[in-house]
Amino acid sequence: MQGTTAIALVGSGFMAKVHSHAYRNAARFFELERTPVLELIVGRDAAAREAARSRLGWNRGAGDWRAAIADPAVQLVDLAVPTDLHAELAIAAARAGKHVLCEKPLAMTAAAAREMLAVAESAGIRHAVAFNYRFLPAVALARKLIAEGRLGRIRHWRARYLQDWLHDAQAPASWRLDAARAGYGAHGDLNSHIVDLALWLVGPIAEVVGDSRTFVDRRPDGRGGEAAVSVDDATTFLARFQGGAMGTFEASRFATGAKNRNVFEIEGERGALRFNLERLNELELFLADEPAEIQGFRTVLATEPEHPFAGAWWPPGHVLGWEHSHTHLIAGFLRAIETGAPFAPDFSDGLRCQLVLDAVAQSVASGRWEAVAGIA
């Protein structure tokens, strides 16, 4: 391994912890030409920033993202900040010639995502969106089986991303419940993941019709008062794929008992797949061309060296965890920066997802089916 890639991470919260872990492990388990260097972590709160810097292994800390982007030592800017900051910071970093990894959803609106993509392409930098679930071995195996035609033409997609951390009406407010900072609630936070998976696994979506609810409209603000909730608590929608498949999507933060239940099911003319993030090493597979007396869903444990990403880690049967998806994503992005090889998901994928999210929001407002705009 020769040379280094110096990183500035903007944000010092939960996702900063996750991304830091991934950078530390990427070069240890995957072939990279340059060592990723945890150069600079940025956060507004000095005490929290210093605690994160020390705990997560960053060389320096800074309170101003502008200084981090301008720093000549930095080559890659990682944005683990609220959604309202994504466009401004990503555009500034791209114009400074820095590569950019941005958390999802890419932007507040499709118009902002489109501008981010245009600036990144004009600047000639590499860009990525943290749709990490593409990088689980079982999900990547699903993509491979579909691409090989093992399921035939896809007829059905159904997905649910359910959590319950807001089901208690006394759970405190946060930036994620403020439309001015988050854009969408469960729709942007959770539906963005399953929309990206649907686009990646099944293909483009032509039109959607949606429904949305805010079950608790005021929450404790942590200062003895209340804060208004201005985002959705749950959003569901139906979709018509361009290839003819039918789709259903459900995202909720009020699904009592669901901690992080990201589930998708796909049925095609020759087979079917099922995946559940709570059993993330497993993919359920049904193949209709098998003899009738042995037909049925089988559970594939995606830990063999032949499975995507799995061979870089442990012996077969030694399962991986949620954090590995981020390591796989970041290792792939670092390698693409080094070699110039194609990488996805990039800002164009983020825009495609945002176009679906925005079309659903339009449908919720209009009460009608709405067409999903194209990326061009």
Candidates 200, 163, 154; CA nearest to 185 is 163
Q: 14-29 and 46-56 are packed helices; what angle lies between their axes, rounded to 10 degrees?
A: 20
pLDDT at 1: 54
Candidates 114, 124, 50, 62; CA nearest to 93 is 124
How far apart are alpha carbons 31 and 44 in whole angstroms? Answer: 35
Q: What is the 3-state secondary structure (H, E, C) of 130-166?
A: CCHHHHCHHHHHHHHHHHCCCCCCEEEEEEEEECCCC
Report the percentage of the chain scoring pLDDT > 90: 98
pLDDT at 171: 95
Other beta carbons less than 10 A from residue 172's beta carbon: 13
Averaged pLDDT of the chain: 97
How far apart are alpha carbons 189 and 175 in whole angstroms? Answer: 12
- Domain range annotation of the chain: 4-131, 133-320+328-346+351-366
Each residue's pLDDT tens digit, 192-244: 999 999 999 999 999 999 999 999 999 999 899 999 999 999 999 999 999 99
Report the percentage of the chain scoring pLDDT > 70: 100
* CATH architecture classification, 4-131: 3-Layer(aba) Sandwich (3.40)
| Cross-strand bridge partners of residue 61 | 41
Each residue's pLDDT tens digit, 252-311: 999 999 999 999 999 999 999 999 999 999 999 999 999 999 999 999 999 999 999 999
Phi-psi map region of 41: left, alpha, beta (phi>0 left; psi -120 to 50 alpha) = beta
> What are the helix (H) ranges across the chain?
14-29, 46-56, 65-70, 86-95, 110-123, 137-147, 179-182, 186, 192-201, 322-339, 347-366
Phi, psi of 362 (to 5 degrees): -65, -40
pLDDT band at 375 (very low <50, low <70, confident <90, very high): confident
The CA radius of gyration of the chain, in Å to the nearest whole number, is 21
SS3 content of the chain, % helix, strand, coil (to 5): 40, 25, 35
Domain 133-320+328-346+351-366 has CATH 2.40.10.340: no
Q: Do domains 4-131 and 133-320+328-346+351-366 have the same CATH topology?
A: no
Q: Terminal CA-to-CA distance of the chain, rounded, Å?
A: 39
Q: Which pTM was predicted?
A: 0.97
The single-letter DSSP state of residue 312 is G
- Say which residues have a Cβ less than 8 Å from residue 61's Cβ, sequence separation at least 6: 40, 41, 42, 43, 49, 50, 52, 53
How far apart are alpha carbons 226 and 218 in whole angstroms? Answer: 6
Q: Which two tokens stand for residue 84?
A: 């309202």
- Max CA-CA distance within the chain? 66
